[in-house]
Chains A and B, each alone.
Chain A
């Protein structure tokens, strides 16, 4: 387990999905784990990888690759699960969720002026999930709106799923 020292400021955690570089607000991240035993939950969308035992708590894990419409994360020595705390629902209840990535790289300082609005073309994922493009030296990173990635659309998907459930209506 690699604990991350969370500092205040414009800090982002950089990670890769396939070969593209992404980043997210580091204050959302609680810790980063190696991929452990995942228990799959049957009959759920494939981007929901299952649940893990995080020191006695059951935490759901999402395959960020599949979630963003990319190929699934392949399990290597580098793949890891970022445990994030996000707020869900109108009551904004904090919940823990894991996001699986191919590799977690580093913590970056990006000042607000280093972030640009997302381009209209040229990236494979929906701009709804993107907060902006961060410039790191000559490269650009896609800064994800992780709350949206993990909740908004997911909820819609789950609602589709729900309409098929007769016993609960």
Chain B
């Protein structure tokens, strides 16, 4: 098997495993939901089957054990318990590590297997029985087409195993049973004629097992049969007899088994026939030859056999158009059949998988296009001409549309990230002996992929904190008259150009008094601060707070909060916190939708041009002398009843030269604070394509990136929060 296939399998398996986790957690909430059990079972089955097929035998073997226990659940012999879910979740994690190769520790797997078999033994009816050998062929009640397709992939996997170990009776038995299941399933679908195929194959395997064993050509035939069944299942309707009779006949000939069935010929010929597998005559023809049946009688019988499509049209179930479409679809599928083995069963291709790098390249190209377009627009001011202007306006519109379209491709729903937290909350609360429900809303809210990836870590911090420190133990909660189970809500919603993510808990809230005391001790707050002041809560984001042990144990907050703060800041977002004692705490993250192109304001200080993110800008004013005053040697500016600290970019960056007589001040907002940034000149709006400053400048103070202007010059993107932090530490302004 090529490496490429293994990679495809890994990717797909991981997707499956993610869904599996979600399903398992859902199942825990709704233990009686048979659909979920079926889905879980099918997923495991697919992983097992394709795992074996692509050489992940360890995965296949392990999954087999898990599957055994799921069979018990599906058959209703084993109830869905918390323990069971935990175990299957652990198994899922183990499979993940087996697939990614992250962990080759087989001990962990053995342990899980042992626990699984304990659980199996505990279920009364099947104590200690090895399923694969002792079970009668499982009864196939309610087999959907989907699950039959899963069975097909399982067969494929098992056959692959058999090629290497043809004498493995257990696997052979599985294949036989699976064909038996297929037979039952196909029967249920009402395709009685077609059901002969899996039945026949199942019987032959049985015979082969007791006699000559599973030879390679025989395995090949079984695989052919499976392939055919898979095709038929994918088509989703009973096949034309002609499509498989040739095969069946060939199969029978090969395994040396007599056929006693009357062949039927599709007289209408609206389905293009497949290449016959061999030169065998049809049973009908042989019967005529031997004189058992007269030619005209045979023709009569055949006449009665209408093609399926015709019958459906007659029954007014579908229209002729539908049939024609389906037929051309059938034709198409035959053509792509050669690729069938790589394709997972039931893969629906209304979406395509694209490497993230390709998207990055696309984004870069669009970025360059935006730059070029900006240059053109600038030039159009010089060379006026209505025709030119018109085309440039068109180009501008198209560029904007293209930009939005490309950016939307990178947008992913935040729900996939939320799903991970369900597991986190479950495991953490189990460990801590707490009972916590996680509710999520707005999972469909879309965010840039890069943003999503970077958002996961701060969210984990916040949720851990809520579980660990926010929510009380059930006993404590009852003592306070609260519901014994705690609640954490995770929500996301679009709000203008932002996405607002909130994490709330109904725990004990932040102990502001202790926090205040700590703040005073560190000299960050004055002792007469009103205990209700919001500033106190903001202290949780101070680095000093997080390292201090007594704070985190008494107030129950602060672990890693500064990390949350800085990583959200690096995403150009903001964090706010609100808390009420005994009612709970809410963290609100406000994030920009995307990080690759932003709207900015172009300003200039000395000869250097800077971009300020437009979203953070509150207002632009002229810096007039009478508003300026100094407090303790720092600049402040009287702005509408408020004193705002400000810094001069010239001073901050020690630019040489004289400042102009009239300076401009851009007032930016960070959370609740304002900061004035004084520049020489405000140039105007600029659609900013964010570029990295490069590796050597990754820590450049107060800068978050660069962009290229229409004239080819580089402008630097200011990191407002970074400047604020520097200014504070350098005492250039008052906090």
Show the binding face of A for B, using Cβ within 8 Å: 37, 39-44, 48, 51-53, 56-60, 62, 88-89, 93, 95-97, 150-151, 154, 158, 161-162, 165-169
Output the residue of A41, A97, A150, A151 with the most chain B CB within 10 A: A41
A42-B654, A95-B694, A167-B725 known; 18 other A-B pairs, CB under 8 Å?
Answer: A39-B716, A40-B608, A41-B693, A43-B701, A52-B714, A58-B694, A58-B708, A60-B693, A60-B695, A95-B695, A150-B696, A165-B701, A166-B725, A166-B728, A167-B728, A167-B729, A168-B699, A168-B725
The distance from the CB of B595 to the nearest CB of chain A, in whole angstroms, is 16
Contacts A39-B716, A51-B706, A53-B714 hold; do A167 and B721 have CB atoms under 8 A apart? Answer: yes
Q: Which residues of B contact A (CB under 8 A)?
A: 364, 367-368, 371, 543, 566, 608, 652-655, 691-697, 699-703, 706-708, 712-716, 721-722, 724-726, 728-729
Q: Give Cα A62–Cα B697 distance, bound, in whole angstroms.
A: 11
Identity of the chain A residue whose Cβ is nearest the Cβ of B654 in the assembled complex:
A42
- In the assembled complex, which residues on chain A have CB atoms less than 8 Å from the CB atom of B712? 37, 53
Q: Do A41 and B697 touch (CB < 8 A)? A: yes
User: What are 14 A-B pairs at a CB distance below 8 A?
Assistant: A39-B713, A41-B700, A41-B703, A41-B716, A58-B707, A60-B697, A62-B696, A93-B695, A95-B694, A158-B699, A165-B701, A167-B726, A167-B729, A168-B699
With a CB–CB cut-off of 8 A, which chain A residues contact B708? 53, 56, 58
Known: A39-B608, A51-B706, A56-B368. A161 touches B699 (CB 8 A): yes
Question: Counting chain B CB atoms within 10 Å of each CB, which of A44, A95, A96 scores highest?
Answer: A44
In the complex, the answer to whether B694 meets A60 with C-beta atoms within 8 Å is yes
Residue of A nearest to B609 (CB): A39
**Bound-complex Cα distance A150 to B697 (A):** 12
10 interchain residue pairs of minimum CB distance:
A167-B725, A42-B653, A60-B694, A39-B714, A58-B691, A56-B368, A166-B729, A58-B706, A60-B696, A95-B695
Contacts of B653 in A (CB 8 A): 42-43
Which chain B residues border A37 with CB–CB below 8 Å?
712-714
- When the two chains form their complex, are residues A51 and B714 in contact, meaning their CB atoms are under 8 A apart? yes
The answer to whether A44 and B691 touch across the interface, beta carbons within 8 angstroms, is no
Residue of A nearest to B653 (CB): A42
For the complex, give the distance between the alpha carbons of A59 and B652 in Å: 24
Q: Which residues of chain A are near B724, meaning CB under 8 Å?
A: 167
Contacts of A88 in B (CB 8 A): 695
Is A48 within 8 A of B696, CB to CB? yes
The answer for the CA separation of A48 and B700 in the assembled complex, in Å, is 11
Q: CA separation between A127 and B724, bound complex, in Å?
A: 41
Q: What residues of A have a CB within 8 angstroms of the CB of B655 in the complex?
A: 42
Contacts of A58 in B (CB 8 A): 691-694, 706-708, 714
Instruction: Find the B residue at minimum CB distance from A89.
Output: B695
What residues of chain B lie closer than 8 Å to A95, measured between beta carbons?
694-695
Query: Are A51 and B699 in touch, CB under 8 angstroms?
Result: no
Cβ of B543: which chain A residues have Cβ within 8 Å of it?
169
Shortest beta-carbon distance from B217 to chain A in Å: 49
Q: How far is the CB of B567 from chain A (nearest CB, A)?
A: 11
**B694 adjacent to A165 (CB under 8 Å):** no
Tell me whether A154 and B696 are in contact (CB under 8 A): yes
A168: B residues at CB distance < 8 A: 566, 699, 722, 725
CA distance A48 to B701 in the complex (A): 14
Cα(A52)–Cα(B703), bound, Å: 16
Most chain B beta-carbon contacts within 10 A, residue among A57, A59, A95: A57
Q: How far is the CA of A136 from the CA of B456 in the complex (A)?
A: 56
B713 CB contacts on chain A under 8 angstroms: 37, 39, 53
A59–chain B nearest beta-carbon distance, Å: 6
CB distance from A73 to the nearest CB of B (A): 17
Which residues of the other chain, B, contact A167 by a CB distance below 8 angstroms? 566, 721-722, 724-726, 728-729
A165 and B371 contacting across the interface, CB-CB below 8 Å: no
B174 to chain A, nearest CB (A): 43
Closest A residue, CB atoms, query B369: A56
B176 to chain A, nearest CB (A): 50
| Whole-angstrom CA separation of A58 from B654 in the bound complex | 23
Residues of A within 8 A of B697 (CB): 41, 44, 48, 51, 60
Closest beta carbon of chain B to A63's beta carbon, Å? 12
- Bound CA span A145–B716, Å: 31
Across-interface contacts of A52 in B (CB, < 8 A) = 714
* Known A42-B608, A53-B714: A59·B721 in contact at CB below 8 Å: no
Q: How far is the CA of A151 from the CA of B698 in the complex (A)?
A: 13
Complex interface: chain A residues within 8 A of B368 (CB)? 56
Question: Please, how many angstroms separate the alpha-carbon atoms of A56 and B725 in the complex?
Answer: 31
Question: When chains A and B are docked, how far (Å) is the Cα of A151 from the Cα of B695?
Answer: 9
Give every chain B residue within 8 A of A43 (Cβ-Cβ): 653-654, 700-702
In contact, B695 and A44 (Cβ under 8 angstroms): no
Min C-beta distance of B376 to chain A, whole Å: 14
B365 and chain A: residue at smallest CB distance? A56
Most buried by A among B695, B702, B716: B695
Cβ of B714 and Cβ of A97 under 8 Å apart?
Answer: no
Nearest CB of chain B from residue A160's CB, rounded to whole Å: 11
Complex Cα distance A58/B715, Å? 10
> In the bound complex, how far is the Cα of B695 from the Cα of A150, in angstroms?
10
A44 to B: closest C-beta gap in Å = 6
CA distance A166 to B702 in the complex (A): 12
Q: How far is the CA of A37 from the CA of B708 in the complex (A)?
A: 12
Contacts of A40 in B (CB 8 A): 608
B694 touches A97 (CB 8 A): yes
Residues in B with CB closer than 8 Å to A158 are 696, 699
Chain B residues with CB below 8 A from A169, complex form: 543
Q: How far is the CB of B563 from chain A (nearest CB, A)?
A: 10
With beta carbons under 8 angstroms apart, the residue of B371, B654, B693 that contacts A51 is B693
Q: Is the CB of A56 within 8 A of B371?
A: yes
- Expressed in whole angstroms, the Cα–Cα distance for A43 and B651 within the complex equals 11
Known: A42-B608, A53-B713. A97 touches B696 (CB 8 A): yes
CA of A105 to CA of B194 in the docked complex: distance in angstroms?
79
Q: How far is the CA of A98 from the CA of B721 in the complex (A)?
A: 29
In angstroms, how far is the closest chain A Cβ from the Cβ of B40? Answer: 37
Instruction: Kindly list chain B residues whose C-beta atoms are within 8 Å of the C-beta of A53.
Output: 708, 712-714
Q: In the bound complex, how far is the Cα of B698 from the Cα of A93, in angstroms?
A: 14
CA distance A162 to B364 in the complex (A): 29
Q: Which residue of B lies closest to A39 (CB)?
A: B714
Instruction: Check B726–A165 contact: CB distance below 8 A.
Output: yes
Q: In the assembly, what is the distance between CA of A161 and CA of B699, in Å?
A: 8
* Residues of chain A contacted by B367 (CB below 8 angstroms): 56
